[in-house]
Chain A
Amino acid sequence: DTGVSQDPRHKITKRGQNVTFRCDPISEHNRLYWYRQTLGQGPEFLTYFQNEAQLEKSRLLSDRFSAERPKGSFSTLEIQRTEQGDSAMYLCASSLVGTTREQYFGPGTRLTVT
């Protein structure tokens, strides 16, 4: 078990560009979560999947954000037409059903929008 991995670890993009991040959860975990964290704040929940179904979405997840988990394994988070306010750490976590409050986090993807 190698833990939750995220790719890339760092991304610098220009305003208006699209970016996509990937998360590979712990293999036997059927729940996968995305969070966003800005400097000095705790992570904010964005969305979560159980297997391939997206079950909850935060109001923070604007129309420019989309997440998928097509085969119930890895997930992607895409941000279209990036804005400077999207600069943040994007964290992925996974867990087993029934242990929602014990989540295993990846190292995050640091996005900088210039």
Chain B
Amino acid sequence: LAKTTQPISMDSYEGQEVNITCSHNNIATNDYITWYQQFPSQGPRFIIQGYKTKVTNEVASLFIPADRKSSTLSLPRVSLSDTAVYYCLVGPSGSARQLTFGSGTQLTVLP
């Protein structure tokens, strides 16, 4: 299983762009990179998924360099409601066992 490393916590201010980087040095060829968001007392929510280069949806962008050893989740113009834990997951699509959550990054958005 590819191990992921991400910052324990980050602070930002409303209206700023936030970039959370995840390191996954031993990512395998068939692994995808997936990010989830979790608010207190709720289940995680899927944000975005990618394999290489850049993926963008209505919520975030995901940047993956050519070597795929890291990835960056970009949240544009955050608001107070973006305060949550963000998880970076790496694994193949075929096995639910390998949907492995780490400890995540606690993002706190300040007014």
Binding site for B on A (CB under 8 A): 4, 31, 33, 40-45, 48, 55-56, 58, 91-93, 98, 100-108, 110
Given contacts A40-B103, A45-B99, A58-B97, contact A102 B46 (CB under 8 A): yes
Least Cβ–Cβ distance between B26 and chain A, in angstroms: 18
Least Cβ–Cβ distance between B44 and chain A, in angstroms: 5
Complex: A56 Cα to B91 Cα, angstroms: 16
Least Cβ–Cβ distance between B110 and chain A, in angstroms: 21
Residues of the A chain whose Cβ atoms lie less than 8 Å from the Cβ of B43: 4, 91-93, 105-108
Q: Which residue of B lies closest to A9 (CB)?
A: B41
Selected from B32, B96, B101, the residue in CB contact (under 8 A) with A42 is: B101
Complex: A48 Cα to B45 Cα, angstroms: 18
Selected from A42, A92, A101, the residue in CB contact (under 8 A) with B93 is: A101
Q: Which residue of B lies closest to A58 (CB)?
A: B97
In contact, A31 and B44 (Cβ under 8 angstroms): no
Residues of the A chain whose Cβ atoms lie less than 8 Å from the Cβ of B102: 42
Residue interface bits B48-86, CB-to-A below 8 A is 1, else 0:
010000000000000000000000000000000000010
In contact, A101 and B103 (Cβ under 8 angstroms): no
Selected from B46, B87, B101, the residue in CB contact (under 8 A) with A104 is: B46
Residues of the A chain whose Cβ atoms lie less than 8 Å from the Cβ of B107: none
In contact, B91 and A101 (Cβ under 8 angstroms): yes
CB pairs A–B below 8 angstroms (27 shown) = A31-B96, A33-B96, A41-B103, A42-B85, A42-B87, A42-B101, A42-B102, A43-B101, A44-B101, A45-B97, A45-B99, A48-B97, A56-B96, A93-B43, A100-B94, A100-B95, A101-B49, A101-B89, A101-B91, A101-B93, A102-B34, A102-B46, A102-B49, A105-B45, A107-B41, A108-B42, A108-B43
Complex: A45 Cα to B99 Cα, angstroms: 7
